[in-house]
A and B are shown apart, each in its own frame.
Chain A
Amino acid sequence: MNVLDIRGLSKKFGDFIAVDNMSLTVGEGEIFGFLGSNGAGKSTTINLVASLLRPSSGEINILDKNIAKHSRFAKMNLGIVPQDLAIYEDMTAFENVKFFAGLYGLRGEELKERTEEALKFVGLEDKAKSFPKNFSGGMKRRLNIACAIAHRPKLIIMDEPTVGIDPQSRIYILASVRKLNEMGCTIIYTSHYMEEVEEICSRIAIIDHGKIIADGTKEQLIATITDLKDIRIELKRGEPDLALSLKNIPGVRDVSVEDNMLRISSDMAVDNLSQILKVLIDSGADIRSVEEQEPNLETVFLTLTGRNLRD
């Protein structure tokens, strides 16, 4: 069963096309990453899934039910952590979570229990009676998450939940994303921080100008642009004669020597670093440093779109 199924989705604002014929499925238990620069269409897509915007064309299904036809069902199964904080500063943390959970139809004892549970989950149980205006940015973010998860949705969408917060809160939030996932939630995570997406997402879609230009696991995405890795070995002195014997090692495609720097281009799939080092040591070379560079998602994005993620 697909938790989210988007087919031919488009959203136009006048002449401007924010989402362009997008199709996408997210399976149960995935942490799905949306990676794109600012203005690529991530937030518009999320607002469409949350029914905050009406699509110009295309359809969206949550748990195999069309959100336009089954809007109540869709809302009950969807938790959204918006990019801009959605909390009331003049209500206590507890009241905030209770208010949002109440909107989903929870009542009485159940409402109270779920509220406490959500606050506990984000580590704010001892701040239940405090007002968010005195909270740090990170704490406000966590409260924001608590508001979105109290009704135990199947699908949680987090729109840039780590923008502008301290590293500690960031680590906490990333950990709670994993924990939510382990508890059976499917998560869609948008960010323009490549490292975060690389770290926690099981599948990633690169989105640009409202289109998904590539999707898959990190490894699959990298494989779309290259199957080579770069190994740089700094030696005490240049050994141009080594190049030939290195080229015989399986996986090695190309070797170049510049002064005392050895650059080896090798198949990513072949694990041959120890063999390379052995050849070097056997020939008496004096190794100063070894660096293995695999392309990352930033490189993928740059290669495919010609721009940096943070442009």
Chain B
Amino acid sequence: MSAVAPPAARRVRESSASWRWSDRLGLAFAWALGLLFLAVTAAIVIYMLVQGIRYVRPELFVTHPAAGVSERASGGFLDPLLGTVIVAVMAMAIAFPLGLGIGVWLSEYGSPSWLARLTESTIEMLAGSPSIVFALFGTLIFEQGALAFLSRTNDGVVYGRSFFAAAAMLSLIALPLIVANVREGLQAIPGHVREASYAVGKTRIATTRRVLLPAARPSVVTGAMLGVGRIIGDTAIIVVLLGATLRFNGASSVPLLGTLRGTGSTLTTFVYENAPTGEIDQPEKAFAAGFVLLLMVLALNVAVDVAARRGRRWR
């Protein structure tokens, strides 16, 4: 919307000296809050960066965490870091195709219309639901006997906590973001592009695949990045569904599958457990891990910006 209106020509600054005092107060308040907001954000980021640089050591990245009582004895965050990557990849592997499919269906097909409306409001409800509810739902599903192969079993009791369980539920929180962005990107493409494609005899699905999706790629990428950001930032689901054990705790000795069926942790739970309210309480480690997490989020933000800038040519 904003890009449609040309930026207003440089307005001549009107002096506020002649305004009524209430108007001037309002303007001053707006300025103050705007600058305060900037200052607070800057303070948070700079504080985290300073603390991070103070406490991050290269060896933290390559040592396994340990349950020590001092900063020196408690090891690094290799496992949580890998855990974050694994969880992000697995959850996106589920959420991305799903979100892409739903976004395409909503934008290009969308019939019957009651189903489209129902889907829209359901996705909106998903976006507004607390992630802790998904986590609890996850414990319900993955404790079913039929899904025992996805987590550890003990005497027939299914434990229900594993990378599979966590990734499946995390994909639900990334889904609304992907759907919304894919859909928005597709709808921003002018109708004549579609018509030109139909006119040369392409089917609807071929048009979508060869013409529309490549054109909407920046939005699709933005949606995916935002989804990844949401996934790596989530803590509640990881605490409940990944077990939040410090190290990878594989369910069997099969190399990859055993780990994925077992429990582990991510950077967010590492920070949570290392904060003074957590079970390990090593704030320096928490700062270091939080710093790494913040850097990841910052990088994703920059990537979104780049993607959005590329997408501007369609508007």
Q: Do A and B come from one complex?
A: no
